Amino acid sequence: MLSVCYRFAHHREDAEDMLQEGFIKVFSQIHTFQNKGAFEGWIRRIIVHTCINHLKKNKKFNESVDIIHATSIQVREESVPSIVQAKQVVECIRLLPIGYRTVLNLYAIEGYSHKEIADMLDIEESTSRSQYTRAKQMLEDILVKKKIIMRPKEKNNWLGVAAGR
């Protein structure tokens, strides 16, 4: 669960604060779990909501999302290890501006719908969609620059490097 928080947080310290707050809620409300679904899923839902609340409380989520910010991201050009490391992908996600990152995390990884994301983040559903599209584009650029993935032009398979190994 710390890795879930880490994808939303600015720093590891923030992630640990989120995790602590989330688990306090989990333990204090564990009697309300009805065994109707996966326990891990229930915990994960609480943790994700806690992360969103934490970002809102610290006014981090309201920071402007600027795509220009992403273009200035320094990407290391060193050679990619033969095995794509999960850590690298996660670190690439964390390079995204917080608004993009949050939508991408919620939609692509946590599986929330755009409507649910809109409700959680107080934004329009269309905004969620557009932010996700831009987030994904930006992440692709980062992953390519990091040589974690290759563009389709170079290989017919867009994910040739990542998936083929």
Residue ranges in contact with other proteins by CB under 8 A: 2-3, 6-7, 15-16, 19-20, 23-25, 27-29, 32-34, 36, 46, 49, 52-53, 56-57, 59, 62, 84, 86-87, 89-90, 93, 104, 108-109, 118-120, 122, 136-137, 139-140, 149, 152-153, 158-159, 162-163
Distance, CA of 99 to CA of 118 (rounded, Å):
12
Closer residue to other proteins in complex, CB, 30/76 = 30
Minimum gap (Å) between residue 158 Cβ and other proteins: 4
Distance, CA of 36 to CA of 55 (rounded, Å):
29
Distance, CA of 146 to CA of 71 (rounded, Å):
14
Minimum gap (Å) between residue 73 Cβ and other proteins: 17
**Closest C-alpha to 58, from 21, 112, 93:** 21
Distance, CA of 114 to CA of 116 (rounded, Å):
5
Minimum gap (Å) between residue 78 Cβ and other proteins: 19
Minimum gap (Å) between residue 79 Cβ and other proteins: 19
Minimum gap (Å) between residue 99 Cβ and other proteins: 13
Residue with tokens 């934490």: 54
Can you spell out the DSSP letters for 103-131? HHIIIIIS---HHHHHHHHT--HHHHHHH
